Structure 1
Amino acid sequence: MHFPMLLLSAALLTTASAYTDRKPSLHSRAACPDYKDYSTRRHGPYSTGRYSLPFQRPSTECRLFTSPAVEAKIKQITSQLADPDLARLFENTFPNTLDTTVRWHQTATPAEASQSFIVTGDINAQWLRDSTNQLAQYQSLAPKDPALKTLLLGAINTQADYVLESPYCNAFQPPRSSGLAPTSNGQNDRVHPTYDPNLVFECKYEIDSLASFLSLGNQYYAATGDGSFMTAKWVEAVQTVMQVIEEQSTGTFAPGGRPADMTYTFSRQTDIGTETLNLGGIGNPLASNTSLIRSAFRPSDDATIMQFFIPGNAFMSVELQRTADILSKHSKDPKNKELAKTMAQKSKDIKKAIYKYGVTTHPEFGKVFAYEVDGYGSHVMMDDANLPSLLALPLLGFIEQDDPLYQSTRKMVLSPKANPYYLPGASFSGIGGPHIGIKNAWPISRLVQAMTSDDDDEIVESVEMVLKTAAELGLIHESVEVQQGKEFTRSWFAWANSVFAHTILDLVERKPGLVIGPKARLNGKQAKLG
C-alpha cells in the first residue's frame, strides 16, 4: 500500500511532549493518547547512555495487551545488555506490538476459536505478512503465558478467516464481530476477483502474504507443540492457499499462444508506476510450465516487474514443507494426509524451479539468486529491504548462511555497484526500495544484515547505525534519509520494532560477547570497528 511519504524531521520532535507519562485521570482507554501522535514525541525517563533514549511505552493502563512472560523477558534482557541505550530501545520495541497494535482480541472456548486483530501500527488494518512478523518474537513465550498463547491462536484463526474470505488480498479490515468500523484506503482500484471493502482494506496479491499465514501456524507449533489450531476451518484455508498456488503457477499464454485467462488482475488510478500492473492489470508476460508461482506485488506492496518473485517463492517453498510435516504428523484424516503429500511435492517443485530459473551469473559476483525472473531468461537484479528478501534467505530457512551461492548473492545485494537500491550515505547506509525512493534506506535491512552475519565488525556497525537513527524517538523507523539521517518515514511501525527486538534476542544467544558484559563491543560508548 502506497501512502504519501511522510518525512519527519527529528529537529521538530524534540519539544516537550503534550502528553505525560502519568496515568490518565480516567481509568479507561478513552483517556489514553493516540499512539500515532504519542510516538512522535519524546517521553521520560531517559536512558543513561550517550543518546538519552526516551521511554516510549504507553502508560500501563493504556497498553492494549499485557503479558507477564513478555514483561519478564524485558527485565531479563535489559539487565544483561551492556549498553543502556540498546536496553532502552529493546524495552520500547519488544512489547510494541502488544502495547499498541492489538486493537481487538476475543477469547473463546475452545481457545483456537478466539480472534485477534493486529494492526500494522499507524494504519488501522491488518496485513497478513506484517502481523505474522509482529507476533513472531512472542511465539517462544507462549508456553509460559496462557493468555499470550490464546492471543496467538486468535491471530491464526483470524488470518484463516481472511484467507477464506479473500485469498488474493493482503490487508484486511477489523472482523465484523469486533464492532470496529472499517476504514478506506482512499484508492480507486479495479480488482478481480472482487472483494468486500468492509472486510478488505487492500487487495494486492502477494505470495508472501499467503506464506505468512502458513508461517504463523508453523511458528506457533514449533514453539508450543500444540496442534489445536489445525481446525477444519484452518485446513480449508490451507486448501485455499493451494488453490491460489495452482491458479498462479500458470504462464501468461495458453497452449497455442493465446493469452490465458488471468485469475487475478489489478489496476489502480495512479501516477506511481509501482502502484498498478501494466497490460490491463495482468503484469508483464511470464513463461509457462516453470513450477514457480507468480506474485503481482512485492512485500513492500510495490508491483513486481517480473512476477516470479524469488524470495517469495523461497518463503512459500519452506512454509509448504513445514505445514506438510505438521499435517502428516497430527492429522488422521486421509484427505489431510493427501493434502500434506501435495504440499510437500509442491515445495520440492518450487525449490527446484528456483535453482533452475532464479539463479544467474553476475559478471562480478558469479552465481547468484535473482530478485525476480520471468521464466524466459530475463532477471531483475536487485534486493528490497522488505521481507522476504534475498538477504534474508537463511532466516527464512531456505538456504544455509555459509552456502557459497548465498554468500555471493549477499555480497551482490550489499554492493551499491550491483544493487541499485543499496544506498550508501554519510549518515546511514542500507537497502531501500522504490516504495519510499532513492534517498532512503530501511533500518530493517541493516538488522537483517546483522542477523545473517558472523563478522563482529559488520554486526556492530549495523546495530550501531540503527541505534543512532532511533536515538531521537526511541523507536525503529520505516526508512531513513541516508545523507543527513534526520528525516525518516513512520515513527510508529510495529514490524520494524519487532525486527530490532529479534536482532537483540539473536545476538544475546548467538553473539553474547558483543552485547553482554564489561567487554561488550556494544557497551554504551562509541563502537569501534576492528
Structure 2
Amino acid sequence: MTTACPDPDLLLPPEVLDDWRGRIAEMAGEPVAELFAGAMVRTLARTVQVLDDGTVFVITGDIPAMWLRDSATQMLPYLRIAGDSPDGALADLLVGIVRRQLLYLRHDPYANAFNLEASGRCHEPRDLADDPWLWERKYEIDSLCFPFLLAHQVWAATGRRDHLDETFVAAARAAVTILEIETDHEQRSDYRFVRPDTVPIDTLTRDGRGTPVGPTGMTWAGFRPSDDACLYGYNIPGNLMAIHCLRLLPELLPAEQAGLAAEATALADRLAAGVAAYGVIEHPTHGQIWAYEVDGLGNRLLMDDANMPSLLSLPLVAGIAVDDPLYRRTRDFVLSADNPFFYRGSVATGVGSPHTPPRYVWPIALAVEGLTAGSLDRALELVHLIESTTAGTGHVHEGFDVDDDTRFTRPWFSWADSMFCALAMSLV
C-alpha cells in the first residue's frame, strides 16, 4: 500500500490561513493566533496520509494508529473551511477520512483503533484480540458513532454525498446491529475483552464481560471514550450520542434503505426511553441531572470525564441545546467540586480524567467548556488559558497539572490541538 502526505498549502491555502490568523489575532491576540496557525498546519502535515485507494489514514499524534473517535474530532476545525480550498482538496480529504473510517467500522465494529495495514502492530500483544488490523479492540459506543457524525458534518459543510455509498450502508447496518445487540449484553453479546496483568481500568471483569448490568433499554459499552473500562455498563453520554447519530442516519441513507432508516429511528427511541428512565437522577444540590454511568441494577456513577462524548460536550456531539434545562443543571454539576474530576489549581481550573494523574486538567475539556459556554467572554478566557499552558512547547497537551503546566501528558496529541483551533475559530 502506497501513501502520500498531502501538501498543507493545497488543503489550507496560505491566504485562507492568514485571514483566519488575522481575525483570531484581532480577537484574542498574537500568541493565540500563532498557536492556532501552527496547529492547523501541523495536523495536515503530520497526521494524515492519503492512500492509493483514495481513503485517508489519520494518526492521533504520538501513536501511529487511527482511532475512529480521534480522527473525527481532529477534523473539527477544518469543517469550517472545507469550501475554501482550491478544487475541493480539503473536502476530498474529509471524504477520504470518512471512507477509511467506514472500512474499519465494517471490518470490526467492536474495535476502537486500527493499523494502516494488517501489520499486527498493537497496543498490547497479550490482548484477547489477535486481528492484525487492530491496534486495540476496546468497545466504545463513540467509536461507532463518530464516523456517522463526521459523515453528516462533511455533507452539511460541503454538500458532498459520494462518501454515502455501499460501504456507508454496510457500516450503518453493522452499527445498528451492534448497538441493538448490546441492549441485551448479558444474553446476546459475545464481545469479550481481556488484558492480562494490568490495572482494572484497562480490562473487563468476569472473564471479559464487564460488571453485571440489568436491562434498561440503553446500549452497553465496555469502555469510555478515554479507553478506560466503564464502572457501570451504560454510559450516558455515549447513549445520548448514539441516539443523535441514529436519528441522523435517515438523512444520509439512500431512499431504498428506508427499512434500515426506520430501524435506526426505532432504536434511537428505545435508547432515549432508557436514558430518561435510568439515566436521569436527582442530585441534592443541582436537581435533576444526567448520571455518567448506570448499571440498571440500582448503581450509578456521578462524574464527568474530559474525553468526548462527555456530559459537558453533549451540545457538540448529541444535538442537545446549550440552553436545555437538564443540560444546564448537569453542566453546573460537571463544573463544580461535586464532580470528582473537576480540579481547581493555581494555573488552571477544569475537568480532568481518571485516565491521567489526579489534578491534571485536560485542554480538550477546557475547549469544550468554551465551545458550549454561550459566552464570548468565557470562551476568550479559556482560549487564553489553553495557549498559556503549553509549557512553551507549541503543542496543546492531553493533560497538565493544575498547579504546574510543565508537568503534562502526551507531548503531541493532535485531538487537543484541533479542539483548541475549533475554540479559537468560534471567537470569530
Shared fold per TM-score greater than 0.5 = yes
1:403 positional shift: 1.5
Specify the SS of the correspondent of 2:194. Answer: strand
Aligned to 2:92: 150
Relative distance call for 1:456 and 1:215 in structure 2 (3 A) is closer
The question of 1:97 aligning with 2:31 is answered no
Q: Judging by fraction of residues, say which structure has more helix.
A: 2
Specify the SS of the correspondent of 1:480. Answer: strand
1:386 positional shift: 0.4
1:66–1:99 Cα contact (<8 Å) kept: no
2:391–2:406 Cα contact (<8 Å) kept: no
2:56–2:97 Cα contact (<8 Å) kept: yes
Relative distance call for 1:73 and 1:372 in structure 2 (3 A) is farther
Aligned to 1:379: 300
CA distance, structure 2, for counterparts of residue 99 and residue 73 of structure 1: 16
After superposition, the C-alpha distances for 1:210-269 in whole angstroms (9 at most, x for unaligned) are: 0012112111111122222121122111111111112111143xxxxxxx3532111111
Aligned to 2:168: 234
1:184 positional shift: 3.1
1:156 positional shift: 1.6
By relative contact order (CA 8 Å, sep 6+), the higher-ranking structure is: 1
Aligned to 2:109: 167
Aligned to 1:339: 260
* AA matched with 2:292: Y
2:79–2:157 Cα contact (<8 Å) kept: yes
After superposition, the C-alpha distances for 1:392-429 in whole angstroms (9 at most, x for unaligned) are: 1112243211122111111101112x111111111122
Mapping of residues 344-355 of structure 1, within 5 Å = 344-355=265-276
1:425–1:483 Cα contact (<8 Å) kept: yes
CA distance, structure 2, for counterparts of residue 448 and residue 161 of structure 1: 29
User: Identity over the aligned pairs, expressed in percent?
Assistant: 35
CA distance, structure 1, for counterparts of residue 134 and residue 99 of structure 2: 16
CA distance, structure 2, for counterparts of residue 66 and residue 120 of structure 1: 21
Aligned to 2:141: 207
TM-score (norm 2): 0.93
Work out which of the two has the higher radius of gyration on C-alpha atoms and give 1 or 2. 1
CA distance, structure 1, for counterparts of residue 60 and residue 13 of structure 2: 19
Aligned to 1:463: 383
1:70 positional shift: 5.1
Q: Which one is further off, 134-143 or 121-130?
A: 134-143
Aligned to 1:274: 201
CA distance, structure 2, for counterparts of residue 504 and residue 338 of structure 1: 41
1:117–1:175 Cα contact (<8 Å) kept: no
1:161 positional shift: 1.3
CA distance, structure 2, for counterparts of residue 87 and residue 441 of structure 1: 22
Which consecutive unaligned segments of at least 5 residues does structure 2 have?
A: none
2:342–2:352 Cα contact (<8 Å) kept: yes
Mapping of residues 34-45 of structure 1, within 5 Å = none
Relative distance call for 1:422 and 1:187 in structure 2 (3 A) is farther
Report the RMSD for the aligned CA atoms in angstroms: 1.9
1:208–1:316 Cα contact (<8 Å) kept: yes
Aligned to 1:434: 354
The question of 1:106 aligning with 2:46 is answered no
Relative distance call for 1:142 and 1:456 in structure 2 (3 A) is closer
* AA matched with 1:482: V
1:173–1:199 Cα contact (<8 Å) kept: yes
* AA matched with 2:210: G
Structure 2 counterpart of 1:133, from 47, 50, 73: 73
Structure 2 counterpart of 1:297, from 223, 242, 252: 223
Which consecutive unaligned segments of at least 5 residues does structure 1 have?
A: 1-60, 109-113, 253-259, 509-530
The question of 1:285 aligning with 2:206 is answered no
